[in-house]
Amino acid sequence: MAEERTGAKRDGAAAGAASPGGRTREAVMAALLAALLAASAWISLPIGAVPVTLQVFIVLLAGLLLTPRGAFAAVGVYLLLGAAGLPVFAGGLGGPGTLGGPTGGYLWGFALGAVTVSFLGRGLTPRIGRVPAEAVALTAGVIVIYLVGWFQLAVVTGMGLVPAFAVGVAPFVLIDAGKAVVALGVAGALRRAGVAIR
């Protein structure tokens, strides 16, 4: 009976997201999260080669609240705005040069990370429960962001993988773990308020 209720809820949520009203609502939420992602870039604390911002928190939140398509759209709109030259990247930067620069991999990783969180969270919830599933999804999402960012940082700067890890990953692990915990709590509160799409 519990499995039937879980399946019914999942099917109902999927149907709601697929309906015209659900798609419109998700589009609005994706646009709002894209705006928050852009705004959060202006609050940064430089730590070596990569600044600390609230952007990872917004990316993780998008993955928790939206479908994979919606999460990708939210980050994709943000990246398109930045690529067009608007100063929406950390430090007030913009333009395609930033996406191809030393820290550009983290920006590409945002899109992949948001989709990873949404996809894994949705897929694992029926098997292990929402909170454990989303904890796994958040961990995987952060790792994806790190992997893409770390690789591009190493390649573009030529510093090698080990030094790039030391400046582009290691200093942020605890900080981003904290952001993931907060994102999990905020998403739960928003979901109870009926804000989440999935």
Give the mean pLDDT of 175-195.
91
Whole-number percent of the chain with pLDDT over 70: 85
Quick one: pLDDT at residue 6? 46
- Residue at 120 is within a domain: yes
Least confident of 40-54, 96-110, 158-172: 40-54
Per-residue model confidence as pLDDT tens digits over 95-145: 999 999 999 999 999 999 999 999 999 999 999 999 999 999 999 999 999
- Residue at 140 is within a domain: yes
Per-residue model confidence as pLDDT tens digits over 51-69: 788 999 999 999 999 999 9
Give the mean pLDDT of 144-165.
96
Give the mean pLDDT of 158-165.
95
Q: Are 30 and 77 in contact (CB under 8 A)?
A: yes
- Residue at 16 is within a domain: yes
Nearest-angstrom CA–CA distance, 137 and 146: 14
Nearest-angstrom CA–CA distance, 162 and 61: 30
Quick one: pLDDT at residue 18? 58
- Confidence class for position 17, pLDDT limits 50, 70, 90: low
- Residue at 107 is within a domain: yes
Quick one: pLDDT at residue 48? 63
Quick one: pLDDT at residue 4? 40
Q: Per-residue pLDDT for 81 more than 90?
A: yes
Quick one: pLDDT at residue 196? 66
Across-strand partners of 51?
Answer: 46
Range 52-80 burial, b when 16+ CB lie within 10 A, else e: bbbbbbbbbbbbbbbbbbbbbbbbbbbbe
Q: Per-residue pLDDT for 8 more than 90?
A: no
Q: How far is CA 22 from the centre of its chain?
A: 21
Whole-number percent of the chain with pLDDT over 90: 74
Average pLDDT taken over every residue of the chain: 88
Q: What is the CATH number of the domain that holds 101?
A: 1.10.1760.20
Give the mean pLDDT of 86-97.
91
- Residue at 136 is within a domain: yes
- Residue at 151 is within a domain: yes
Q: How many domains does the chain have?
A: 1
Characterize the bridge pairing of strands 45-47 and 50-52. Answer: antiparallel
- Residue at 198 is within a domain: no
Our CA angle for 143, 144, 148, nearest 5°, is: 115
- Residue at 197 is within a domain: no
Give the mean pLDDT of 23-46.
89
- Alpha helices by DSSP H, listed for 41-160, are 55-65, 68-83, 96-99, 104-128, 130-157
- Alpha helices by DSSP H, listed for 158-172, are 161-168
- Confidence class for position 198, pLDDT limits 50, 70, 90: low
Q: Per-residue pLDDT for 47 more than 50?
A: yes
Closest to 113 in 3D by CA, of 37, 186, 164: 37
Closest to 65 in 3D by CA, of 146, 183, 178: 183
Range 127-161 burial, b when 16+ CB lie within 10 A, else e: eeebeebbbbbbbbbbebbbebbbbbbbeebebee
Domain hosting 54: range is: 2-192
